[in-house]
Chain A
Amino acid sequence: MNNKIVFGSYVPVASPLHRLDPRMKLLMCIWYVILVFFANSWGTSLWLLAGLLLAMLMSHVSFRQYWQGLRPLAWVIVFTVAFQVLFSSGGRLYWHWGIMSITHDGLVNALIIFYRFMVIITASTVLTATTPTLRIADGLDCFMRPLKFLRVPVNQITLMLSIALRFIPTIMDEAGKITNAQRSRGMNFHQGTLVQRVRHLVPVLIPLFVNSFKRAEDLATAMEARGYDPDSPRTHFRQLHWRGCDTMTFVVMVLVTTILFLIRGGLL
């Protein structure tokens, strides 16, 4: 349980990447995803891949753990790539059967899609593995702050987001408990046709919903009792600190971008 990560979960180890400001990491991740779409050759693609590998090494999270995190998505990737290979056309034809064919352009497209898929998902896994979800929410809060002038209730939205994140494990726990309770009453979740199995979920989902509503009501009462007023200003206990290493990371990011465009322009 401890060293196994599911997609998007945080891995609590100490690393230079863990210590970075969430705003920097969020910016870096978003920027990287944009850059991936500018990679148009072997050189540019490998350059960006090298950048990602460096970040993965600096995160002190093992490749095995990253792979465990990605594995649930493997089927989606395989399916998309296979679809590209079999159903796109153009260039030399290698094989065909009915509407399916393997062509040169199809293979190239599939490779590009495979690359983008893997690299983008891995980059976001690096972000979530090195940053607790709540810190990501803090970073988002900061980026969304300018929206306040458009009367978007940024504080409420981010508080809502962080409470929702905080309750996901609690509700998962509860789903487990209810499932066990039903099982102890003789319910078998692993038998029967698909329709029967789906029907077996009803006695799990109904108590889960009812409990969640009750929980939300209790939570709202508790928040009110502790003086929460959505319209009043609040101070913030969790602060973000921009430090030297964040600025350095920013410089590295600018360098990576510059070199990428130099390679792309044929100057390197």
Chain B
Amino acid sequence: MVDAVTLTNVQFQYPNADRMILDGVSLRFPQGEWTAIIGRNGSGKSTLARLIDGLLLPKQGQVTVCNLPVTEENMTRVHQQVGIVFQNPDNQFVGATVADDVAFGLENRQVPLAKMRSRIQQALAAVDMTDLASAEPTMLSGGQKQRVAIAGILALKPQVIILDEATSMLDPAGRQLVLDLLQRLRTQQQYTIISITHDPTEMAIADRVVVLDGGQVIRQGDTATVLADVDLLRHVGVGVPAGQALRQALVDRGITVPARYFTEEEMVRWICQQL
């Protein structure tokens, strides 16, 4: 499989900070797959996202996006391939209104007005914000701003979509809407999705999971394998998906449950069979 994003032995340190934030990180993000990045606060997840988009350049090592080395010269093209939804929805709202904000990226790419309209409409419909197209940012809640930020990236149709805790403020229905949308995008197999998350449901949907801790990748692999390791999840302080938590509770009570990964669905089915 082709890799959309690769990092080779990347080291990164913020200027005038004494600590290495990422130290020898090597990762591959296969094209068309959904990878979740998890890890405790301050483990360098957002920094990793910025390195992929070239917003920060590594001290050592190499980053490539769609076979393009991420360097100063390639920056424009890298930004065109990668779309990031940042953690703080307030600080990425550029436009005067919702529609203006979604238009911002399109204007930068010199998309003609006629095309812009339909793309903005589609993107807003995808996050269920059509009614608020002419609302001003002060009138929006945090979750609504996150939806706008997601729409702004969807309108650009980048190859790689990075969501940095982009659903953290959404209500359960809104989160489900965005997750369903991402799943639909995944089935089209054109988009490579990287989602940074603390939400167990969101990580369980991903194809692969990468665990960051202390500036290093301490585990990566397909979702079932990584999330089956409840001790690891507890160690890095992230939430345990419902199915796994249930399995662990049964094991702790001395019931023998097969040692494999269970989604919530599968766990319920397994218990029903035992009854």
Contact = CB atoms under 8 A, between A and B. Distances in A.
Interface string B139-158: 00000000000001000100
Contacts of B104: 223, 226, 228
Given A170-B137, A235-B112, A218 B91 contact: yes
Contacts of A239: 113
Interface residues of A, number: 30
Contacts of B99: 237
A237 B104 CA distance: 8
Interface stretch (B63-71, B76-84, B170-178, B254-262): B76-84
A157 to B, nearest CB: 16
A233 interface: yes
Interface string B104-119: 1111111111001000
B138 interface: yes
A236 interface: yes
Interface string B6-30: 0000000000000000000000000
A237 B113 contact: yes
Contacts of B97: 134
Given A166-B137, A173-B138, A218-B86, A237 B91 contact: no
B60 interface: no
B74 interface: no
A186 interface: no
Nearest to B79: A227
B78 to A, nearest CB: 10
B271 interface: no
Interface residues of B, number: 39
A215 interface: yes
Interface string A216-250: 00110111111111001111111100000000000
B50 interface: yes
B249 interface: no
A238 B108 contact: no
Contact of A134 (B80, B96, B113): B96
| Chain A binding surface SS class | helix
A237 B86 contact: no
Nearest to A227: B108
A236 B113 contact: yes
A235 B107 CA distance: 5
A225 B113 contact: no
A218 B108 contact: no
B92 interface: yes
A237 B93 CA distance: 16
A166 B76 contact: no
B213 interface: no
A182 interface: no
A234 to B, nearest CB: 5
B103 interface: yes
A194 B74 CA distance: 57
A260 B113 CA distance: 43
7 contacts: A215-B90, A221-B55, A223-B94, A225-B84, A227-B109, A232-B110, A235-B112
Given A225-B83, A227-B105, 20 more contacts: A132-B96, A165-B96, A166-B136, A169-B136, A170-B137, A170-B138, A215-B90, A219-B92, A219-B94, A221-B50, A222-B91, A226-B156, A227-B80, A227-B156, A234-B107, A234-B108, A235-B112, A237-B100, A238-B100, A239-B113
